Amino acid sequence: MALSRGLRCCQRVFSWIPVLIITAVVLWSYYAYVFELCLFTITNTLEKVAYLLMFHICFVMFFWTYWKSIFTPPATPCKKFQLSYSDKQRYDLEERPDAQKQILVEISKKLPISTRAQSGAIRFCDRCQVLKPDRCHHCSVCETCVLKMDHHCPWVNNCVGFSNYKFFLLFLSYSMLYCVFIAASVFQYFFKFWVGDLPNGPAKFHVLFLMFVALMFFISLMFLFGYHCWLVAKNRSTLEAFSAPVFISGADRNGFNVGIRKNLEQVFGENRRLWLIPVFTSQGNGHHFPLKNHSSASQNPLLPNEDMWDESDDGSEEGSLGEFTSVFVITHYPICN
């Protein structure tokens, strides 16, 4: 038992290594750009001020979204989806699998659940002892169920889900903007150092390396950001792109696709002035989502009492898991249920 706790503790410590690497690279880029380029290399005062102003805007937005992606706890199912004491006793005492499934069906009638497991059974997490809301999955890294889980990202050491998906998308976009601005403003000095128009010195190494790093990260982020833009347009999570959600009528990858505009509003909210600001504006509470075919929802025997559902109970707590693989910088953890 003590060994297991020690291993979990080591795992938590090592899980911060990717975050520390990104932080170290960004802090070095800050030093290289502000000091070595702007203060020690650029001689034109107006150009220096303009570059510093634009750089710090990009830098602040990048770190703000990165911070929110890391430290926003993924939302977990609220108490309404947990088994009551009496239901838990019934479920645990029942040894027949079919009878257990029937118990879960009866409980789910009080909840807005429209998806099922691949077997057709109600999705139930034995470890968290909760009926899984639509698009909710269990993360074996965070050891909890996460609402609208997309993936577990090692570069933010956090599960990306309902509560922080907007922040993650903004983090990707501002990271790309940060890289593009650095590459565009550094290019002329990169070329001057390369051909020998500027004297050799400490700034040369920083400027040359800054250009290469900015381009490398931009190319990596471009593929990942493009993939997530496609997911948002289709209203899918990374997990749903690999394994289609199962409804009463069968599996359907487009089951939650309600049109590009409404798909965007589910993630970014209706107030477009706040779309680019890292504040939470996503629609709903993460427990149920509009379906492509409303008729299929009304025909679902799991939803006869959906009017009883109280949307004011927002179960936003800690959460968990999985990831799309970018061949350059992102690692995929296929460890969800």
The one catalytic residue among 128, 142, 153, 179:
153
List the Cα angle 56/58/62 in 5-degree steps: 115
> What is the Cα–Cα distance from 48 to 312, expressed in whole angstroms?
51
153 given a catalytic annotation: yes
Tokens of 86: 């009496």
> What is the Cα–Cα distance from 223 to 1, expressed in whole angstroms?
42
Residue 70: partners with Cβ closer than 8 Å, 6 or more residues away: 19, 156, 157, 158
> What is the Cα–Cα distance from 247 to 264, expressed in whole angstroms?
23
3-state SS assignment for residue 98: helix
H or E element that contains 182: helix 165-195
> What is the Cα–Cα distance from 96 to 277, expressed in whole angstroms?
51
Task: Give catalytic residues, as residue numbers.
Answer: 153
